[in-house]
Amino acid sequence: MESVWIAGIGWAQWFVRSHIDYRQIFDRQFIIWLIRGGTALYWRMSIQGKLRRIALNQQGLLKTDSFGRGKQATLRVIEHLGYVQIDTISVVERAHHHVLRSRISNYQSKYLDQLVRERKIFEYWFHAAAWLPMRDYRFALPRMTQQNGERSWFENCDKKLISNILERIKSEGPQRARDFEDTRKGKKGWWDWKPAKQALEQMFMQGELMVSGREGFQKVYDLPERVLPDGVDTRLPSMNEYASHLIDISLRAHGFAAQQSITYLRKGHKLRNAVGEQLQERVDAGLLTTVKLKDNSIAYLDPDLLERRAPRCKAEVRILSPFDNAIIQRIRGREIFDFDYQIECYVPHQKRQYGYFCLPLLYRDRFVGRLDCKAHRAKQMLEIKSVHIERKVDDRFIGALCEAVKSFAGFNRCEEIIISSASQKQWFAEL
């Protein structure tokens, strides 16, 4: 337990009489004692509250620009988090840009393109499509070589077509899917990829091709030897090396992690066993300790993190992406933040509770609600469809929410903000 004293009548009375809902903010048990004729305030921070702060601090979400600013900060974020997920949905700015902007106040989308050209990051797969640090390239090889039970996307891909496409890229240089003719007839669905696209993605997943960049949002495919920088490590990691890598990423990005979180969406009992064995070895060596989470699962973390004073948090609202590293794992969101988040664009319309693309709202160190909005780019207008506040908030919340919405509108290149529902306008009085 972390203990903090505020001694003296003035400080104690100010804190008690302030408008801050300290139970919400700190999740603390408050006791007021009379000591030597003066009032002192004493609190103990629960382990759950401290874990929240640790997780958000490791994610770079408690301080402004904790990774710095500009292009180099963009690289530092990707290297620290281990990946930034790519998604095609563009109701608001796409997920990869949104995640980076949440941590870098002056982030610009061109930074990603520049880092790709400089061969500092590459596109592949983490638990989903993502930008990854080039220094971690070798740890993408187990999936490329179909280790750990991973399988190719298209089992019946045309081998002759694959060979022809590979020869064309070798001789003509980088190609997009649109550079290959679609010989099929009839109506095609959204995900009904033409054979050439399937072949390109098959070779991409198997490591025979890499993405050298994007034009618009279309992948440009090229040979690995023309994309990888000199000196990059291309050795296939052993199972223990791979398990160690996943553990290191989780602990660096989140501060602590349960075993199921470390192996999130990864197949193979051999990998899970290797992760479990390495975690126990680190505990036995005193490198890690364990804490029990709300669902009685065991989380692992550096014991020094528990000994340090919990990081501070400000009365700020952050509007996060549904694909943000801090919230992408639903079980972890429930265990750590008591916040059950699910993106509803994949949920049938009649079953949605909050909206098509609701964005998690982080206030201080708690997820307090969701914001459903849409950027109408042609009109340069951000439409607020609804806001759902699910926790008690203090008097500073509305001002912080309005500041966050104004900043988010600017990020989406919107000059006007409209509130669709009259009943929601109470939350935006300061806009």
For residue 412, pLDDT beyond 70: yes
* CATH number (domain holding residue 338): 3.40.630
For residue 296, pLDDT beyond 70: yes
- Looking at residue 29, what DSSP letter applies? E
Q: Do β-strands 298-301 and 289-292 pair in parallel, antiparallel, or remain unpaired?
A: antiparallel
Within a domain: 108? yes
Residue 294: per-residue pLDDT: 85
Q: Rounded CA gap, 126 and 99, in Å?
A: 15
Residues 168-186: tens digit of each pLDDT = 999 999 999 999 987 666 5
Say whether both 220 and 79 belong to one domain.
yes
At position 98, the amino acid (one-letter code) is H
Say whether both 220 and 241 belong to one domain.
no
Say whether both 76 and 202 belong to one domain.
yes
pTM: 0.87
What average pLDDT score do residues 292-299 get?
Answer: 90
Say whether both 333 and 201 belong to one domain.
no
Say whether both 85 and 212 belong to one domain.
yes
Judge contact between 99 and 74, C-beta under 8 A. no
What average pLDDT score do residues 121-132 get?
Answer: 97
Of 346, 135, 336, give the one whose Cα is nearest residue 245: 135
For residue 139, pLDDT beyond 90: yes
Facing residues of 213 across strands?
A: 220
**pLDDT higher at 255 or 423:** 255
Within a domain: 231? no
Per-residue burial over 267-300, b = 16 or more CB atoms within 10 Å of its CB, e = otherwise: eeeebbebbeebbeebeeeeebbebebeeeeebb
**pLDDT higher at 431 or 227:** 227
Cβ-Cβ contacts under 8 Å for 403 (sequence gap 6 or more): 316, 317
Within a domain: 353? yes
- Structural domain count of the chain: 4
Residues 300-327: tens digit of each pLDDT = 999 999 999 999 999 999 999 999 999 9
Facing residues of 3 across strands?
A: 44
End residue of a domain, out of 307, 330, 346: 307
Cβ-Cβ contacts under 8 Å for 90 (sequence gap 6 or more): none
Half-sphere exposure of 3 (CA within 13 A, CB side): 5
Q: Rounded CA gap, 374 and 109, in Å?
A: 19
Q: For the chain, how far is it from start to end, CA to CA, in angstroms?
A: 40
Say whether both 205 and 71 belong to one domain.
yes
For residue 33, pLDDT beyond 80: no
Residue 426: per-residue pLDDT: 80
Facing residues of 358 across strands?
A: 372
Pull the structure tokens for residue 267. Answer: 């197949």
Judge contact between 431 and 384, C-beta under 8 A. no
Pull the structure tokens for residue 118. Answer: 């400089």
Instruction: Write down the number of H helices and E strands in the chain.
Output: 15, 16
Half-sphere exposure of 252 (CA within 13 A, CB side): 14
Within a domain: 61? no
For residue 188, pLDDT beyond 80: no
Residue 425: per-residue pLDDT: 79
Say whether both 204 and 87 belong to one domain.
yes
Q: How many other β-carbons are positioned within 10 Å of the β-carbon of residue 430?
A: 12
Q: Rounded CA gap, 374 and 428, in Å?
A: 16
* CATH number (domain holding residue 256): 1.10.10
Mean pLDDT of the chain: 87
Q: Do β-strands 416-419 and 381-389 pair in parallel, antiparallel, or remain unpaired?
A: parallel
| Angle (deg, nearest 10), helices 330-337 and 47-58 | 130
Within a domain: 185? no
- Looking at residue 235, what DSSP letter applies? P
Q: Rounded CA gap, 338 and 336, in Å?
A: 6
3-state helix, strand, coil in the chain (%, to 5): 40, 20, 40
Q: Do β-strands 38-45 and 28-35 pair in parallel, antiparallel, or remain unpaired?
A: antiparallel
Within a domain: 170? yes
What average pLDDT score do residues 219-237 get?
Answer: 97
Q: Residue 430 — pLDDT band, cuts 50, 70, 90?
A: confident
Say whether both 253 and 398 belong to one domain.
no
What average pLDDT score do residues 64-78 get?
Answer: 97
End residue of a domain, out of 307, 337, 355: 307
What average pLDDT score do residues 73-96 get?
Answer: 97
Within a domain: 16? yes
What average pLDDT score do residues 373-379 get?
Answer: 96
Q: Determine which helix (DSSP H) or strand (DSSP E) holds 247, and give its type and residue range.
A: helix 239-254
Say whether both 96 and 240 belong to one domain.
no
Say whether both 210 and 130 belong to one domain.
yes
Within a domain: 334? yes
Say whether both 219 and 300 belong to one domain.
no
Region of residue 400 (left: phi > 0; alpha: psi -120 to 50; beta: else): alpha
**Where would I find the beta strands (DSSP E) of 223-286?**
256-258
What average pLDDT score do residues 195-223 get?
Answer: 94
For residue 274, pLDDT beyond 60: yes
Of 199, 237, 233, 245, give the one whose Cα is nearest residue 219: 199
**pLDDT higher at 148 or 171:** 171
What average pLDDT score do residues 23-44 get?
Answer: 42
Say whether both 347 and 301 belong to one domain.
no
For residue 140, the enclosing domain spans 67-178+192-226
Residues 4-32: tens digit of each pLDDT = 443 444 444 444 444 444 444 444 444 34
Q: For the sheet with 381-389, list strands across it.
A: 317-319, 358-363, 366-376, 381-389, 416-419
